[in-house]
Amino acid sequence: MAEFRELTMGDEELYCNYMEEWLDNDEQIVPTVTNIAKYDNFEDLVHKLEDNKSHDQKVDNTTLFLIGEEIIGAANIRHNLNDALKKHGGHIGYGVRKKYRQQGYGTKILKKSLDYLSRIGVQEALITCDDDNEASATVILNNGGEEIESYEHEDGTVTRRFMIEIA
């Protein structure tokens, strides 16, 4: 049975295998906060992710991983939104390891993330995805997302935006 939880120091080998798969597939690591390249080492990653719950330079956030025998995926859950996150990013950024895609894990991770937001008092969540990411749009719709106005960036790329009632 997979758990949705924070990383611990005991997860280093699982995390290294997870990160290796993202890098081997030459994919952008999602959520980006889980990318080891942003940190000095695994211990620094674990401590900084833990610190983000109470004070981050952008917004308070929590990063949880769906972990069974391996790390399946992760979500960065923002407790509130700034102006930038209202346009692109929203309350939850999530990603699923390539070999676990198309198996319902994205839907499960988003549902568990919405449950977390509900527990901390958020009643409505903004979730976004790139315009060409149909898989993510399907995950959002499967969790009750209602599409609202998209956001067009200066470079012409489009972010689809969805609202989900969670209270």
% helix, strand, coil for the chain, step of 5: 40, 30, 35
Q: What pTM, to 2 d.p., does this model score?
A: 0.93
Q: 97 or 54, which is more confident?
A: 97
Please give the domain boundaries of the chain with CATH numbers for all domains.
3-165 (3.40.630.30)
Across 7-21, 47-61, 100-114, least confident range: 47-61
Residue 71: is its pLDDT beyond 60? yes
The string over 14-45, giving b where at least 16 C-beta atoms fall within 10 Å of a residue's C-beta and e elsewhere, is bbeebbeebeeeeeebbbebbebeebeebeeb
pLDDT score at 58: 77
What's the Rg (C-alpha) of the chain? 15
Confidence label for 156 from pLDDT (cuts 50, 70 and 90): very high
Confidence label for 56 from pLDDT (cuts 50, 70 and 90): very low
